[in-house]
Structure 1
Amino acid sequence: VYKRQLVLPRRVAPATPGPEAVAAAAAALTLLQSRLKGPSWKVTRLSRKARHALRALGGVDPAAHPALAAPFAALMAHVVGPKAEGRLPVRHALGLLSQVDVAAFQRAAEMWKAAPAGSVPPGVAAARTLTDPELALRVTALLSERPDLRDGSEDAWTKRWATLKPHVEAHLSGAGHSLSAFVGGVDAGGDAHLSKRLARLGA
């Protein structure tokens, strides 16, 4: 029986960024880091600007660009860093990671999982079950989203999950797991918003 090959849609359209685009993205990242102690609405707005600037680079690995490497790594560290220095909400960090090469997510996830237990973002451990880094990035990003905070809409979230779900189910099935077991195995850590997202995944 012929089985249709599942092809995961690209996250970012390919591009050949010039130095100006790279510099603009670096500036957006640096500005975001400098404002992490500010009001949440401003952090959200600057995160969105940085996301768009990174998207224009066509899915590069920030580590491959000297201008991007340090500010990007610094922002990822602020997800689990001291609160007094300003933290980057994990949903914003994953928004940035969704615009670049998956290698950046792998590095960030390892760093976050090595942080003290109390500062590891709930849901990040879900990536351990999904051994495919690309799927892990996309699922972790979906779990972190907060449509109630203008990060999108419930309809858009549902459409993205509908597109991704067959790929996740195929991956889990190939490893002898089920989607329901995966969802049940993620510790929400008392996070009501994560619990709601997990329920939506398993619905």
Structure 2
Amino acid sequence: PALVLPRRVPSASPGPEAVTAAASALALLQSKLKGPSWKVTRLARKARHALRVLGGVDPAAHPALAAPFAALMAHVVGPKAEGRLPVRHALGLLSQVDVAAFQRAAEMWKAAPAGSVPAGLAAAKTLNDPELALRVTALLAERPDLRDGSEDAWTKRWAALKPHVEAHLSGVGQSLAAFVGGVDAGSDAHLSKRLSRLGA
């Protein structure tokens, strides 16, 4: 039987209060991007939880969410003087909403000046499956060493996703080893470590 990729976010029917709370959490996160990293991490976690309650909505479909969400995605590659949102936090937010938001963000990031495009993004996009690309990119960007979860949790998520990635690659005549080997990590030691874990 064909593999069925489980939902990232449980279904929900959010009311206006939940949407407003999520919009406020996003706006607060943006306002503190120039603050200490621990505070940005804490606020990003709160915003992620607020979005998850909405059941996987597309932020663009809600006027209250569209602007603050798009603004945060722009801060991933925006001027450092205005405060940047670490890509791992951006992907954490994107993992709680409809995959269309990831597609828009990825196009925005790809158009950014060389050197500011998130590492691993181009490689994941070669999967030609937006949902898998989002999940793989998020795994590559995650930093358990910075208290963004744990190595055990990362390993479990990859173990659950790996069969889907392998099946997809096999269907287009590729292998996981070839995919991992085709990613240029450059001087990014963290990305190199994540890639080695993907291929393990």
TM-score range, shorter chain: over 0.9
- RMSD (Å) for aligned C-alpha atoms: 0.6
Task: After TM superposition, give the deviation of residue 131 of structure 1 in Å.
Answer: 0.6
Task: After TM superposition, give the deviation of residue 45 of structure 1 in Å.
Answer: 0.1
Task: Say yes or no: does 1:132 pair with 2:145.
Answer: no
1:80-127 CA deviation, whole Å, 9 max, x = no partner? Answer: 000000000000000000000000000000110111111101111122
Task: After TM superposition, give the deviation of residue 189 of structure 1 in Å.
Answer: 2.7
Task: Say yes or no: does 1:11 pair with 2:5.
Answer: no
SS at match of 1:135: helix
Report what 1:52 is aligned to. Answer: 49
Report what 2:107 is aligned to. Answer: 110
Unmatched 5+ residue regions in structure 2?
Answer: none
Report what 1:145 is aligned to. Answer: 142
Q: Distance in 2 between matches of 1:148 and 1:133?
A: 27
Report what 1:31 is aligned to. Answer: 28
The 5 A counterparts of 1:1-203 are 4-203=1-200
- Matched pairs, number: 200
SS at match of 1:30: helix
Unmatched 5+ residue regions in structure 1?
Answer: none
TM-score of the superposed pair, with normalisation by structure 2: 0.99
Q: Distance in 2 between matches of 1:114 and 1:187?
A: 19
Q: Distance in 2 between matches of 1:126 and 1:98?
A: 18
Task: After TM superposition, give the deviation of residue 187 of structure 1 in Å.
Answer: 1.4
Q: Distance in 1 between matches of 2:182 and 2:78?
A: 26
One-letter code aligned to 1:64? A
Q: Distance in 2 between matches of 1:167 and 1:34?
A: 38
TM-score of the superposed pair, with normalisation by structure 1: 0.97
Q: Percent identity?
A: 89
Q: Distance in 1 between matches of 2:59 and 2:111?
A: 21
